[in-house]
Chain A
């Protein structure tokens, strides 16, 4: 059974001017079990990672990342984005079992 995907945290800068390149920062709580470890009885602990992160702006994919087992627990992902117009971001994290968790945040221009 896949471990729960925790509450996402997303942070956008508060004051953004049109045309500015901003950093969008995300953090999500997840065990990122590698599939390489064994439990005390010697059985392999099945792999269970967040394998895909996607960020959409107004429905359009602007950033995506395939995650690998070597990435540590509670992955922090940050990326740059040129803010041209206000709109809504949607961020989605998907695990090995295909379950996903989303967060939305609005980009406002000063």
Chain B
């Protein structure tokens, strides 16, 4: 509904606009139409918004079916992170891929949800989840370690499929 704003002064008003009452009735009918329209409100704690797979929520680490992380601790994510929120410390492992993150921390007070970490990751090991409920009561709690970051791969399949469309 593109409408060009026309400046109208009082002298330009027509008689029916000038006596004001029909215009009031127009306004009233508009608000009444809105009163009976369906509402879009999510009643939050009971009814939660489920974002689409394009949504960038809290970044998480992908956990394979055998309970191990996909991450090989290359450190690219921490390198690319513009907010310097990610800290990775690599360790050696007997497994085929030889490296794993001994320590992987994301400071959620710093994270800006840009998704660069997920873009740069060569292993699809860090992805943005749909989780947007990030409340903590102290700064220490804001630093998420591996215990909080690891999420089973099947829960993240939506996002992984979405990312593959653009690769």
Q: Tell me, yes or no, whether A binds B.
A: no
Question: Chain A: residues with CB nearer than 8 A to chain B?
Answer: none
Question: Chain B: residues with CB nearer than 8 A to chain A?
Answer: none
